[in-house]
Amino acid sequence: METIANRIVNYLDTYKTIWSDVDRMRMSLGLQIMIHNIVMIGTILLISKIAGIFLEAVVLLTAYGTLKMTAGGVHFRTSLACLIGTGVFVMAGVLFSRQLNMELFHIMGIYLVCLIILVKIGPQGTENNPISEENYIKLRNRTGFIVLTYMFLTVIVENVTGRIPYLLFIAVVFETISILPSYLKNRSI
């Protein structure tokens, strides 16, 4: 992916007159991230389509990704590990959601525990994705808002349809679990 991104940047600025070296590096990194996300999401959704769980995978991936962007937590070191880890989570999460049968009261209790943990110890940055002091409070508030929104949607969908949308619940629980290793590592430093 790095080679592809560098070729695109070199093509766009062949004579190295548009951007400085720092800007070229930023452009290259941004393109690498875009390419990684397109490949990862496309692969996961293609496999989920073949497996017959496409719409559920879209919901879970969107819910988890939205929360992950604000709460942070564990990030894999390579694109392949990220693809495999996220793919396994999405596939297993969808299949697990089909088997869950919990009372709304218990789900709300777990949501509240997750909310407290995410707001108390989140967001968590990593070596490659640190969180600046000025963004910390904004991201923490956003994380709390997202979890409260998922809780609210869970109650509304259950009241309207009689079915609990477990995918939102699974996204919150998994994100809560995924910030714990970063929290423990950052705490020991």
Mean pLDDT for the chain overall: 87
120-175 pLDDT, tens digit per residue, is 987 877 666 677 788 888 989 999 999 999 999 999 999 999 999 999 999 999 99
Residue bearing the bigger pLDDT, 125 or 68: 68
User: CA-CA distance, 15 to 180, in Å (whole number)?
Assistant: 47
As a whole number, mean pLDDT of residues 61-70 equals: 92
Closest to 109 in 3D by CA, of 155, 143, 146: 155
Structure tokens at 108: 């709300």
* C-alpha separations of 25 from 75, 110, 113, 142 in Å: 21, 43, 41, 29
The yes-or-no verdict on residue 74 having pLDDT over 80 is no
pLDDT for 5 equals 72
Contact 81, 36 (CB under 8 A): no
What residue spans define the domains of the chain?
Answer: 1-51, 53-188
Place of tokens 């990220």: 82
